[in-house]
Amino acid sequence: MTYSRILGVGSFLPEKRMTNDDLAKVVETSDEWIFQRTGIKARHIADDFDTTSNLAVKAARRALQQADTAPNEIDLIIVGTVTGDYAFPSTACLVQQKLGITNNCPAFDIQAACAGFMYAMVMADAYIRGGLAKKVLIIGAETLSRIVNWQDRNTCVLFGDGAGAAVLGASDEPGILHSKMCADGEFASVLHMDGRMNNGEWNGAKFINMDGQAVFKFAVKALSEVAKDTITEANFPAEKIDWLVPHQANSRIIDATAKHLGLPREKVILTVAEHANTSAASIPLALDEGIREGKIKRGQHLLLEGIGGGFAWGAVLLRY
């Protein structure tokens, strides 16, 4: 039986770090308000050169190195992003070119907002198990700072930029054990950026719009359920989860999900304080930090989970 395993992980954060106090000089807010409501202390902000594809490439190079994989060994590239460099071509095609991959492997983006990296992982797993690919580069990369309204304190305090990547490879040993991906377009207007190009003019919103309380309420319920469903369907007891690696949007949402699973905070990888919400990049950034800090070790069981605009959400159970 063929499984897909994580061969290597890497991430990249732009150099510029903006604290809550820095933000309080721009909008009417405070470190106390932001930290109490979200657990965020700081976020990283891309400079003009840090396009989403450039962040993605920096994370990808690290993941390839960790996986001991040459760029041309990659036979599929999937990038989860809502802030791709262009409407088209895809960021994945730009990544392919910048990494010097010349084997004509397929490359495409997935748009599932904050769930984008998990969606990419599940698709990569299906390609590998179906025999269509042997080594897949999956990336979550975002420059959300370019689509937040820096005058809107309801949203601008929440987001940051960054990228995370993983190389998945075919293996006789698991690997990805089980996953459950969900979406409900009924909630499209709760968290969205509904602007678009129309005959050469931008129509509609230019920035992220969010009903924070509605997202919060739905997120706690949906994530608790999907996390439970994923391990139940895999017949995997919660107490055997070594690490919960959640989407890093809000520490209160993360705490609620962990509590529902009966997991103590010591088993949760928490990076929201320093990264803020980096959408599709948040889970691989957390995964990479957990590995580099020596918390996550080979052979351990991880549960990834997260939700974003759509709503699109899900969870992945895997053996690292």
Give catalytic residues, as residue numbers: 114, 247, 277
Does residue 212 belong to the site contacting ligand UT7 (CB under 6 A)?
Answer: yes
Please choose, out of 26-34, 67-75, 170-178, 291-299, the segment that lies near ligand UT7 by the rule CB under 6 A: 26-34
Does residue 249 belong to the site contacting ligand UT7 (CB under 6 A)?
Answer: yes
Does residue 31 belong to the site contacting ligand UT7 (CB under 6 A)?
Answer: no
Choice from 7, 9, 219, 223 touching ligand UT7 (CB under 6 A): 219
Strand 76-80 and strand 107-110: the pairing is parallel
Does residue 153 belong to the site contacting ligand UT7 (CB under 6 A)?
Answer: yes
Strand 161-171 and strand 135-143: the pairing is antiparallel
**Are the C-beta atoms of residues 254 and 261 closer than 8 Å to each other?**
no
Q: How many residues bind ligand UT7 (CB under 6 A)?
A: 21
Does residue 215 belong to the site contacting ligand UT7 (CB under 6 A)?
Answer: yes
Does residue 216 belong to the site contacting ligand UT7 (CB under 6 A)?
Answer: yes
**Are the C-beta atoms of residues 257 and 244 closer than 8 Å to each other?**
yes
Distance in angstroms (rounded) separating the CA atoms of residues 210 and 248: 16
Phi first, then psi: give them for residue 86, nearest 5 degrees.
-135, 165
DSSP string over 62-108: HHHHHTT--GGG--EEEEE-SS-SSSSS-HHHHHHHHTT--S---EE
Does residue 308 belong to the site contacting ligand UT7 (CB under 6 A)?
Answer: yes
Does residue 25 belong to the site contacting ligand UT7 (CB under 6 A)?
Answer: no
Task: Kindly list the residues in this chain that would bind ligand UT7 in the complex (CB under 6 A).
Answer: 29, 33-34, 37-38, 114, 153-154, 157, 210, 212-213, 215-216, 219, 249-250, 253, 277, 307-308
